[in-house]
Structure 1
Amino acid sequence: MPGLSPPTLSVVVPMFDEEEVLPLFVERARSVLDELGEDYEVVAVDDGSSDQTPVLLQTARRTWPQLRILRLRANSGHQAAISAGLARARGDWVVTIDADLQDPPETIVEMLEAARREQVDVVYAVRTDRSSDSAFKRSTANAFYGTMRRLSSGTGPDDAADFRLMSRATVDAVNALPEQHRVLRLVVPSLGFPSTTVGYVRDERAAGSSKYPLAKMLRLSLDAITGFSAVPLRLATWFGLGGFLVALGLLVYALIAKATGHTVAGWTSTVVIVAAFAAVQLLCLGIMGEYVARIYSSLQRRPTYYVAHDSLSPSDRSSTAP
């Protein structure tokens, strides 16, 4: 078992039903980290897996003392699992990486070297080639980053997701934030800490299937937009103002037509106008509803995850709410 003194490097790895790829990740990550020549720990966050992931982690830990298992009581989601790992990681530097081997562990060496060489707090791993993605995923990713760049500041570099290295000061700052439903790829850049980038080519998933279907990507995008920008609320205001001006213009037109005797009875234009205004009103209500839901969730202050077991301190059964 690793010593209780803080290691130089912590590697946080969220996992959910990764039994197929886990042995490959353990073999490859251990090879890289052992050759690094630094004291390290790997915080494997088991996000309520229902397959053999917990068993495989326990098996790997018998021969890999630096492996630390943090098991959550229920599936809490990718971002919550990363937050749980950040809250428990002890290293001077902390890397977050997925277990699917699409993000190569070898890049961790470059990231640590870049952080020390340039004396920065954050190193983003930026994809230099998206050819492994489908055309749909590339287009939606470009749309997401473009939208966030326009709606908010401090979005960080494009094509940088959750593969990054952070200093202890950065991790402490993230852990101190009271925000729930964090989107860490936006939270970390918003801190404004000195940063740099390291390019890499993302590989195909080594085994298993993606745990981020379209529905989860849409939910993440919605959390990102409503969590980091008030522009949609202002957009609703502008929609309302525009609708008022259009209605005022129609009123003037109707009064003039009535005064000049050119009124024409017709239902098509009426239906179109009523439908258009109803659609705008529903859109504005939906936007405001998303913000109200976030406020309601924040006021409840329910933990976003519950820690069931930490192999570093087996008696720990506490829950954590970021």
Structure 2
Amino acid sequence: MMLPTTGQPDDPRPTPLPQPHEVELTVIVPTRNESANVAPLLDRLGRALAGRAFAVLFVDDSTDDTAAVIAHEAAGRPFPVAVLARPEERRNGLSGAVVEGMEAAGGLRLCVIDADLQHPPEIIPQLLDQANRTGADVVVASRQADLLGPVGLSRSRALTSQLLTILARMVFPRVLKNVSDPLTGFFIVRRAAIDTTSLQPEGFKILLEILVRHPDLRVTELHFDFAPRHEGQSKADLNEGMRFFRHLARLRLTVNQHLIRFLIVLLLAIALNLTLLPALTRGGRPVMLAAAMAGAVTIAAILLGEMWVFSDRPRGPARRRLAGVLLLGLLFLGVVYLPVIWLLAVRLGLPVMVAGLAAMLAAGFVYYLFSEQWIWTRGLMMRPRAYLYYDLHGLLTVASQIPLSDLSYFQTPAPPERIDLQLRVDRHGTPSRVPGAICYDEHLGRFGFGLTVIPGDFTEIVVSPLLETSPGFLYTNVVEPVLRWLLVTRGYSLARAGAICRPGAVRPGAGRWPEALLITGRGDMGYGLSRLCRADALDFMGDDCIIIGRDRRARSFPKPVTAGRGMTSDQSPGQPIPPALGLQRLLYSSPVRRLGLFLSERRLPAATVNTYLQRFIPQPKYPLPSLLPEIAVGDEAVPLVLVDQARGAESLTPLPLETAIDRLLEPGERAFGFQPYPLLVESLASWHGRDWPAEERDILRAGLAGCLTLQRRATDERWWEHVGQIFQNQTAHDPARHAAPAVNPA
């Protein structure tokens, strides 16, 4: 199907493409003398998007026959193709062409792609799927990059692109923090999320214009390999480079008033300082004493002016904010202002006025950098952080920029076809607040605990850089409650129990499954389960968590176990036990946890303190096979017996199913009460109006059908000897077992 060639000088009004509700996507292709690329581009678009409702709109600024070639090649295509040929007076660069295309195009989403085939049309379906799963307003196709810049460009062009990206990030550190490649020309936007009247296109970096003028957009990205140019020549030249610098400067001065406001405050502060400093020195005071007095008054004025400069930023509690102001004041006075005065006025003998002016400019510059949280890290570069991938029995997949040792058993070398949970580190420091997200922030920037969780079919967790140094705390307090909720949405429960199983191959076709023993009610079961596995030749499935599904299958979740005496093999030295084990155990003891809860309840930065503690004194946990290589890990089994451990007079009694489920749903003692764990559990419990805790109970009722549930009370600590005997006495094929009152009906 071909739509007429539109937008000729004698008919400036383009014939409209299909209405937004008629097509899923309109592909906008800006062209300038790209006639040789039209046919192969349309061919590849047709193959890539076959079966989808889409249209193609070329916006042509050519001086050759490109428009005519488009009209010819569009004939007979099974999708709408149109060309908007702009007259010379309307040609204002690639960005302007894209904006006109957006105004003319239909479709729920718009895809912008270059005509030179360096952007592969084959990944557009992936971009669309990412947009649909995440609900993102913008999905950016970011070019794969190394230290020098995008791979696939010449080294000189790659380095230029890298430097321009760094410059753009320095000017807009917050807005561009979620995008590796803000200068790419390949992306998808939700049509309704973009106000084209607010765009002031100039040059060829339209994505930068969109992101900066729409700072509240939800943005995700996929990475692709940049292909060699098919035909034609690059339009980038010195003039385009100068237009980019003009564009960047104009955006900085017009988008928000932070810089302008700060310059006003700085000028007033300089005037105040240059008035106070000479007056104080004329009174006979030493230069450094006078500088300290003048500097304290002046920097106090700057810090008060900060309330006006950054008045649109969220504020923390008043007490925390005051502490931050005092800390910054001492920092600038002692580290920047006074050393500059000493160097210039005392050491070099320059006039006090000159030294005061230089010190004020230096202090003001450093202060603005801290206020914007510009930190010179790899976050400025295009090269994205690498991801590690985890596949939880094919039920759920995780991509994480931070190694998660608790999921090490599930790590897979190749990226899975579908990602369900993505964990990444915020480039800037404080994760963005987006609609529908769960946010927790202790208002300490990149040096404190902060996170944003965006739940959905594709769930994203964005954390502050501090959490990269404490993956154990990150997993326990952030990742695990999100994993638990995601599994419930898929019909599984991440239950709180230790588990072992009889060895044996899973043979579902023959109806043969190993049988599992589940144990609840014990805080740390690693040692006892290891003794049980070695004594009775059983396989380990997990000491803290187990996955239970409606299909009556228990799937292993072998997190690292706490190291200690008796946790190394007689045949193998295993993992060496750290000498600081006693100190580590003290930090994770109940009294210290109660102290942490006390701080958390009083809105003090307990999560930040806890993160730093675990950074320097990590949990003494190791994978069980590294401690005891002779113990194998069982993968999947049928729950045969559940034994709840409790203190009291020796007894073994039936345990009601609902009580057993209560035990399986108890939160881990290491996390419960510490933020953000309670916040995440509460917020996710009713996501999308569903009662997920009730659904999890239904899952466990089905999963434990036919499982013997008991409670054992005892005063001794050698519980594994008795529990092992209970397990050995049960047989999966004993008909009498199904008649026992403690057995839950199937």
- Structure 1 and Structure 2 fold alike (TM over 0.5): yes
Map Cα deviations across residues 271-321 of structure 1 (whole Å, 9 max, x no partner): xxxxxxxxxxxxxxxxxxxxxxxxxxxxxxxxxxxxxxxxxxxxxxxxxxx
| Partner Cα separation in structure 2 for residue 10 and residue 101 of structure 1 | 17
Larger radius of gyration: 2
Q: Would the alpha carbon gap of residues 180 and 206 (structure 1) be closer, same or farther in structure 2, given more than 3 Å must change?
A: closer
| Partner Cα separation in structure 2 for residue 76 and residue 119 of structure 1 | 32
| Partner Cα separation in structure 1 for residue 249 and residue 258 of structure 2 | 9
**Does 2:220 match 1:199?**
no
| Partner Cα separation in structure 2 for residue 210 and residue 180 of structure 1 | 20
Candidates 45, 50, 54, aligned match of 2:63:
50
Map Cα deviations across residues 102-134 of structure 1 (whole Å, 9 max, x no partner): 010011110000011112111010111423222
5+ unaligned residues in a row in structure 1: which ranges? 250-322
Aligned-pair CA distance for 1:186: 1.9
Corresponding position of 1:275: none
Alignment check: 8 A CA contact 1:14 1:46 kept: yes
**Does 2:148 match 1:125?**
no
Candidates 88, 99, 111, aligned match of 1:83:
99
**Does 2:224 match 1:208?**
no
**Does 2:46 match 1:30?**
yes
Aligned-pair CA distance for 1:22: 2.0
Three-state SS of the structure 1 residue aligned to 2:43 is helix
| Partner Cα separation in structure 1 for residue 210 and residue 18 of structure 2 | 27
| Partner Cα separation in structure 1 for residue 201 and residue 187 of structure 2 | 20
| Partner Cα separation in structure 2 for residue 73 and residue 234 of structure 1 | 41
Corresponding position of 2:166: 146
Map Cα deviations across residues 191-242 of structure 1 (whole Å, 9 max, x no partner): 2211211110000101111122232133123212322347887999989x8x
Map Cα deviations across residues 25-71 of structure 1 (whole Å, 9 max, x no partner): 222222212x2x22111011112x11120110110122225111111
Three-state SS of the structure 2 residue aligned to 1:193 is coil
Alignment check: 8 A CA contact 2:99 2:201 kept: no
Give the TM-score normalised by structure 1: 0.67
Q: Would the alpha carbon gap of residues 184 and 228 (structure 1) be closer, same or farther in structure 2, given more than 3 Å must change?
A: farther
Three-state SS of the structure 2 residue aligned to 1:137 is helix
| Partner Cα separation in structure 2 for residue 193 and residue 4 of structure 1 | 25
Three-state SS of the structure 2 residue aligned to 1:21 is helix
Alignment check: 8 A CA contact 1:151 1:231 kept: no
Aligned-pair CA distance for 1:180: 5.0
| AA of the residue aligned to 2:132 | R
Candidates 104, 116, 130, aligned match of 1:114:
130
Aligned-pair CA distance for 1:7: 1.2
CA RMSD of aligned residues (A): 3.0
| Partner Cα separation in structure 2 for residue 106 and residue 146 of structure 1 | 29
| Partner Cα separation in structure 1 for residue 166 and residue 226 of structure 2 | 21
**Does 2:122 match 1:99?**
no
Corresponding position of 1:187: 209
Q: Would the alpha carbon gap of residues 116 and 136 (structure 1) be closer, same or farther in structure 2, given more than 3 Å must change?
A: same
| AA of the residue aligned to 2:101 | G
Candidates 197, 215, 231, aligned match of 1:176:
197
| Partner Cα separation in structure 1 for residue 117 and residue 92 of structure 2 | 22
| Partner Cα separation in structure 1 for residue 86 and residue 109 of structure 2 | 23
Map Cα deviations across residues 158-188 of structure 1 (whole Å, 9 max, x no partner): 3241211111222xx3313163538522232
| Partner Cα separation in structure 2 for residue 208 and residue 231 of structure 1 | 42
Q: Would the alpha carbon gap of residues 162 and 174 (structure 1) be closer, same or farther in structure 2, given more than 3 Å must change?
A: farther
Q: Would the alpha carbon gap of residues 61 and 106 (structure 1) be closer, same or farther in structure 2, given more than 3 Å must change?
A: same
| Partner Cα separation in structure 2 for residue 106 and residue 4 of structure 1 | 23
Corresponding position of 1:317: none
Candidates 134, 150, 153, aligned match of 2:154:
134
Three-state SS of the structure 2 residue aligned to 1:188 is helix
Alignment check: 8 A CA contact 1:97 1:164 kept: yes
Q: Would the alpha carbon gap of residues 116 and 20 (structure 1) be closer, same or farther in structure 2, given more than 3 Å must change?
A: same
Candidates 43, 50, 53, aligned match of 1:39:
53
5+ unaligned residues in a row in structure 2: which ranges? 3-16, 279-746
| Partner Cα separation in structure 2 for residue 103 and residue 15 of structure 1 | 14
Candidates 77, 82, 101, aligned match of 1:68:
82
Corresponding position of 1:12: 28
| AA of the residue aligned to 1:118 | T
Three-state SS of the structure 1 residue aligned to 2:111 is strand
Map Cα deviations across residues 233-279 of structure 1 (whole Å, 9 max, x no partner): 7999989x8xxx9xxx9xxxxxxxxxxxxxxxxxxxxxxxxxxxxxx
| Partner Cα separation in structure 2 for residue 69 and residue 16 of structure 1 | 12
Corresponding position of 1:264: none
| Partner Cα separation in structure 2 for residue 222 and residue 207 of structure 1 | 30
Alignment check: 8 A CA contact 2:36 2:231 kept: yes
Alignment check: 8 A CA contact 1:125 1:163 kept: yes
| Partner Cα separation in structure 1 for residue 142 and residue 201 of structure 2 | 26
| AA of the residue aligned to 1:92 | L
Corresponding position of 1:165: 188
| Partner Cα separation in structure 1 for residue 262 and residue 157 of structure 2 | 27
| Partner Cα separation in structure 2 for residue 181 and residue 11 of structure 1 | 21
How many residues are matched?
242
Q: Would the alpha carbon gap of residues 178 and 147 (structure 1) be closer, same or farther in structure 2, given more than 3 Å must change?
A: closer
Alignment check: 8 A CA contact 1:154 1:186 kept: no
Q: Would the alpha carbon gap of residues 46 and 214 (structure 1) be closer, same or farther in structure 2, given more than 3 Å must change?
A: same
| Partner Cα separation in structure 2 for residue 199 and residue 178 of structure 1 | 26
| AA of the residue aligned to 1:56 | V
| Partner Cα separation in structure 2 for residue 219 and residue 181 of structure 1 | 7
Three-state SS of the structure 1 residue aligned to 2:75 is helix
Q: Would the alpha carbon gap of residues 215 and 38 (structure 1) be closer, same or farther in structure 2, given more than 3 Å must change?
A: same
Q: Would the alpha carbon gap of residues 216 and 179 (structure 1) be closer, same or farther in structure 2, given more than 3 Å must change?
A: closer
| Partner Cα separation in structure 2 for residue 236 and residue 137 of structure 1 | 35
| AA of the residue aligned to 1:105 | P
| AA of the residue aligned to 2:238 | L
Corresponding position of 1:311: none
Give the TM-score normalised by structure 2: 0.30
Alignment check: 8 A CA contact 1:97 1:162 kept: yes
| Partner Cα separation in structure 1 for residue 163 and residue 18 of structure 2 | 45
| Partner Cα separation in structure 2 for residue 168 and residue 86 of structure 1 | 8
Alignment check: 8 A CA contact 2:152 2:225 kept: no
Alignment check: 8 A CA contact 2:74 2:81 kept: yes
Q: Would the alpha carbon gap of residues 178 and 52 (structure 1) be closer, same or farther in structure 2, given more than 3 Å must change?
A: closer
Alignment check: 8 A CA contact 1:148 1:225 kept: no
Alignment check: 8 A CA contact 1:9 1:92 kept: yes
Alignment check: 8 A CA contact 1:144 1:221 kept: no
